A and B are shown apart, each in its own frame.
Chain A
Amino acid sequence: MNLFNTIYTGSNQALAAAEGLLKKAIEEKGIDHKVAFPETAYSLPIIYAATGQKMNTLQDLEGAIGVVKSLIDEQPRLEPALNAGLATAVSAEIIEAVKYALNETPYEAPCAGHISDAIIRSLGVPLVTGDIPGVAVVLGECPDSETAAKVIKDYQSKGLLTFLVGKVIDQAIEANVKMGLELRVIPLGYDVTSVIHVVSVAIRASLIFGGIEPGKLAEHMEYTKNRVPAFVNAFGPLSELVVSAGAGAIALGFPVITDQVVPEVPTLLLTQKDYDKVPATSLEARGIKIKITEIAIPVGFAAAFEGERVRKDD
């Protein structure tokens, strides 16, 4: 199937999933049930940034479904394809919001799920100063834990902030990758839709630090493209849903680098089968340049290890 059709298929799947879950939630909790992410002043940040509207109840989310539908126009052109990617992002946010509506703590350790405003504000300064040179979103499943650890540790040692989504979380744990906000490795969740919590970080950066008004979607996309140095590594077989979410990332200006064979788009969607080269390929694609002073020492050395706690057993 061609790339754009894959995206549209994924976007429709995401839409159907969002509609189904929302319907179930309304049946269970009633249409006026409250909807909110914890510890944020930006409601459902993606929908807020895109439309300027705050979502308060499940009923509001029904309206947001209309936004998703309006973004899916299956024409064989890049613009509607990118819009369909954004549609998937909105669907994912609806799905994640419903999770929080149905359950007070849908995410448990090690997964972080939704990231609070306070954390985003604390990340703001190191992002601006370049202390955090980039944001890596590692998604899917690597061929083995060692590979996953190698890629993640590479980002960690360069000071990047890395978000994990999917089975790669287990692989990282298995390979003893140390995680936590202070270590700059944050597992988000096992479902693909949990990737939305990092999109939410980028969008809130635009709202908070960029001062861009809610509802001005094009300006938000311009800000994320120019100011949030993020990229996506998608490992393992790619479902239509993941490809469609990837289009959303590309719409925000974030390149997608995968180990799978896909129709490549220069600088935006690349296939890198050599895992040793994934980090370098990704950094180059996102235009992230890191000044490195290598110190020959036998342990990892980076700002990412600053908050590390050495426990008794270690």
Chain B
Amino acid sequence: MEEKIYSIDPVTEELARKAEKEGIETLWDRKKVMKTPCGFGEQGLCCRICAMGPCRISPTEGKGAQKGICGATADVIIARNLARMIAAGTATHSDHGRDIAHVLHMAKRDGNYKITDEKKLLNLAKEWEVEIENRDIYDIAHEVAEIALNEFGKPFGTLRFLERAPEQRKSVWEKNDIRTGAIDKEIATIMHSTHIGCCADAKDLVHKGMRASLADGWGGSMIGTEFSDILFGVPVPRETEANLGVLEEDQVNIIVHGHEPSLSEMMVLAAEDPELLQLAKEVGAKGINLSGMCCTANEVTMRHGVKIAGNLNQQELAVLTGAVEAIIVDVQCIFPALAPLTKCYHTKFITTSPKAKITGATHMEFEEEKALQSAKEIVREAVLNFKNRDTKKVFIPKTKSHAVVGYSVEAIKSQLDRVVNSQLDEGGTLKPLADCIASGVIRGAAGVVGCNNPKVKHDYGHVELMKELIKNDVIVVTTGCAAQAAAKAGLMSKEARKLAGKGLAKVCELVDIPPVLHMGSCVDISRILVLVSELAKLLKVDISDLPVVGAAPEWMSEKAIAIGTYVVTSGIDTWLGVVPPVTGSDIIVDILTNKAEDIVGAKFHVEPDPHKAAQQMIERIEEKREALGLATEAVEA
């Protein structure tokens, strides 16, 4: 039988083969056991929202069941399923944002959580018209946090952060009644409308989904990012390394995996604790080696340069190295498979959040009130576990890549200041970037985000797409597991500008950046929204007029669906590398990939081949440039 290639990443490939040989189960094995996926589910044609069902609709028109028992058509069922995916994705990001806002609310001058970036806090306070004169910074913080917490459930009005969008975009939302209200309300409304016997208008359900998705991008996610920066610092460029080769043979290896920085930030501190370092020496290790996985890795690498162990599809493989003392997780994208898997090794699988308990894991609840102490107890567990490591089982791949990370919007502006002529312009703006795009030196910008998915060769979609884009002078910003794929593939090294077209390479040289910019975790896609908004304002156009595109080549989660939807709703064309479960409805497919453009000025495109997707994205960028008549006028800052 032909050998299936799992990944373009040699480390992943090597460890997946090791698992295969040793008979250890991974996601690829479980994918295989699934055999051919259910066609009804794949096309979104099954419904089980009430007990009259489950119902399923025939994919062939005029043949078999054409309606559910309640009379819902394929269009309605698919729209409801889609809306619920959006609601779930929005809920995860929002709960994440809410937690961080809570942490700011509990921040104290002598507490574990402090304000690190006063400037960012004060800017936000001004934006939200909070009194700042003659006030204690912590009083300001608590008031700002309370306002944010109210965004989740306020009875009236629309989201504050929507105001950050350019005027043209705001009126598109206004005109189409997409201006989102309280975050939780939008999620609840979808759950309500998708109940049996409620909304049965496919178009309206998609509209509700669009509206709710803004509660993610311009709500929960943006709150998460803003408040994480205030608490833990605005990321600045720093060097790091990526891939499982970052694990150390002679150190206690701890992997933090999940999403919320309130835990991982404390883990960073705990891993530097002298007492625990001493303990590590006592158990025979040279030190404590903390590395990250998924979005938690992105958070701590952006702010501290903590090494990136890997992305979603590598979480099991990390355990397979036999060198990990503990995988410490909080919420989201944590495979429950880690529980039985870690039993085959000495690795401790520690859950910390009451929101994500996993049977078979060790639960050590992370208490934010005594965060550092909590973190230290968890690290202690890991250190004490070092002696249980079976050296015969240890196999750490040698491969790792160098990467420069930490490109927040603020950091990008400060890099751009390098090319500002002090006789002409003030620093601290995106004008140089706008100029490069307007003149055509850079053709456009692409946000490449999203997950891993075993339906796609691991990292292939991400890396091939990014390479093709930068080669054509399209600058790439990236977050999430896509960012980690880029880091592993070396695209975040400054050397990678050799792979870029001359225009982008020139800009990278002048501005001293890699051609692919790591902008953070999945909630940090809100940074991209801020970036494009400011760019649109500089060029005096709507976001949908910009030569800007988005892509999720290997998406898998409901969060990715929510993200894709808010990106489109914000006016950015989005390419999906994995077909979403909507193909059973021509109406829905038509709205998403066609009619959406009439409503919000952007739409979805589905293209599994990253090379073809790149060409389509470049064509779209050129179309937008043409429509804008770009470069006829200079940019005015």
Chain A interface residues toward B at CB < 8 A: 1-4, 76-79, 81-82, 261-267, 269-272, 277, 280-281, 284-285
Please give me the residue from chain B that is nearest to A276 by CB atom: B423
Across the interface, which residues of A come within 8 angstroms of B424, CB to CB? 270-272, 277, 281
Please give me the residue from chain A that is nearest to B439 by CB atom: A263
| CB<8 Å pairs between A and B, sample of 7 | A78-B506, A261-B633, A263-B440, A264-B438, A264-B634, A267-B419, A277-B423
Instruction: Tell me whether B503 and A77 are in contact (CB under 8 A).
Output: yes
* Interface size counted on chain B using CB atoms at 8 A: 31
Across the interface, which residues of B come within 8 angstroms of A262, CB to CB? 634
Across the interface, which residues of B come within 8 angstroms of A264, CB to CB? 435, 438-439, 634-635
Across the interface, which residues of B come within 8 angstroms of A263, CB to CB? 435, 438-440, 630-635
A4 to B622, CA, bound (A): 13
Instruction: Tell me whether B440 and A76 are in contact (CB under 8 A).
Output: yes
Please give me the residue from chain A that is nearest to B438 by CB atom: A263
Across the interface, which residues of B come within 8 angstroms of A267, CB to CB? 419, 421, 510
Across the interface, which residues of B come within 8 angstroms of A269, CB to CB? 439
Q: A2-B440, A263-B438 are in contact. Are A281 and B506 (CB under 8 A)?
A: no
Q: Is B37 an interface residue (CB 8 A)?
A: no
Instruction: Tell me whether B421 and A78 are in contact (CB under 8 A).
Output: no
Most chain A CB inside 10 Å of its own CB: which residue of B438, B625, B629: B438
Q: Which 10 A-B pairs have the closest CB atoms?
A: A78-B503, A79-B502, A266-B419, A263-B439, A2-B631, A281-B423, A263-B631, A266-B432, A264-B435, A277-B423
Please give me the residue from chain A that is nearest to B622 by CB atom: A76
Across the interface, which residues of B come within 8 angstroms of A271, CB to CB? 424, 634
Most chain A CB inside 10 Å of its own CB: which residue of B436, B622, B629, B630: B436
A277 to B424, CA, bound (A): 9
Most chain B CB inside 10 Å of its own CB: which residue of A77, A269, A281: A77
What's the least CB distance linking A257 to chain B, in Å?
9
Taken residue by residue from 412 to 426, chain B's Cβ proximity to chain A (1 for < 8 Å, 0 otherwise) reads as 000010011111100
What's the least CB distance linking A273 to chain B, in Å?
9
Chain B interface residues toward A at CB < 8 A: 416, 419-424, 432, 435-436, 438-441, 443, 472-473, 501-503, 506, 510, 622, 625, 629-635
Across the interface, which residues of A come within 8 angstroms of B633, CB to CB? 261, 263
Q: Is chain B's interface secondary structure helix, strand, loop, or mixed overall?
A: loop
- A76: contacting residue among B420, B438, B443, B506, CB under 8 A: B443
Please give me the residue from chain B that is nearest to A6 by CB atom: B631
A156 to B58, CA, bound (A): 84
A284 to B631, CA, bound (A): 24
A270 to B435, CA, bound (A): 10
- B473: contacting residue among A3, A77, A265, A277, CB under 8 A: A77
With A76-B440, A77-B501, A263-B633 already in contact, 16 other A-B pairs whose C-beta atoms are closer than 8 Å: A2-B630, A4-B631, A77-B443, A78-B506, A263-B440, A264-B635, A265-B435, A266-B416, A269-B439, A270-B424, A271-B424, A277-B423, A277-B424, A281-B421, A281-B423, A284-B421
Instruction: Tell me whether A280 and B622 are in contact (CB under 8 A).
Output: no
A264 to B435, CA, bound (A): 6
Instruction: Tell me whether A284 and B510 are in contact (CB under 8 A).
Output: no
Across the interface, which residues of B come within 8 angstroms of A77, CB to CB? 440, 443, 472-473, 501-503
Most chain B CB inside 10 Å of its own CB: which residue of A262, A266, A280: A266
A2 to B632, CA, bound (A): 5
Across the interface, which residues of A come within 8 angstroms of B510, CB to CB? 266-267
Instruction: Tell me whether B502 and A82 are in contact (CB under 8 A).
Output: yes
What's the least CB distance linking B301 to chain A, in Å?
28
A77 to B504, CA, bound (A): 10
Instruction: Tell me whether A265 and B436 are in contact (CB under 8 A).
Output: yes
A266 to B443, CA, bound (A): 15
Across the interface, which residues of B come within 8 angstroms of A3, CB to CB? 439-440, 631
Please give me the residue from chain B that is nearest to A265 by CB atom: B439
Please give me the residue from chain B that is nearest to A4 by CB atom: B440
A81 to B439, CA, bound (A): 11
Instruction: Tell me whether A266 and B473 are in contact (CB under 8 A).
Output: no
- B421: contacting residue among A79, A82, A261, A270, CB under 8 A: A270
Most chain A CB inside 10 Å of its own CB: which residue of B423, B436, B625, B633: B423
Please give me the residue from chain B that is nearest to A280 by CB atom: B423
Instruction: Tell me whether B423 and A266 are in contact (CB under 8 A).
Output: no
Across the interface, which residues of B come within 8 angstroms of A4, CB to CB? 440, 631
- A78: contacting residue among B419, B422, B502, B635, CB under 8 A: B502
What's the least CB distance linking A6 to chain B, in Å?
9
Please give me the residue from chain B that is nearest to A1 by CB atom: B632
Please give me the residue from chain B that is nearest to A83 by CB atom: B502
Q: A262-B634, A265-B441, A266-B419 are in contact. Are A2 and B629 (CB under 8 A)?
A: yes
Across the interface, which residues of B come within 8 angstroms of A285, CB to CB? 421
Across the interface, which residues of A come within 8 angstroms of B435, CB to CB? 263-266
Across the interface, which residues of B come within 8 angstroms of A277, CB to CB? 423-424
A77 to B625, CA, bound (A): 13
Across the interface, which residues of B come within 8 angstroms of A266, CB to CB? 416, 419-421, 432, 435-436, 510
A271 to B472, CA, bound (A): 27
Instruction: Tell me whether B634 and A78 are in contact (CB under 8 A).
Output: no
Across the interface, which residues of A come within 8 angstroms of B502, CB to CB? 77-79, 82
A265 to B472, CA, bound (A): 18
A2 to B420, CA, bound (A): 22
A261 to B630, CA, bound (A): 14
Across the interface, which residues of A come within 8 angstroms of B439, CB to CB? 3, 263-265, 269
A272 to B421, CA, bound (A): 10
A3 to B629, CA, bound (A): 11
A3 to B438, CA, bound (A): 9
Across the interface, which residues of A come within 8 angstroms of B503, CB to CB? 77-79
Please give me the residue from chain B that is nearest to A81 by CB atom: B440
A78 to B506, CA, bound (A): 9
Q: A263-B435, A272-B424, A281-B423 are in contact. Are A78 and B632 (CB under 8 A)?
A: no
A4 to B632, CA, bound (A): 11
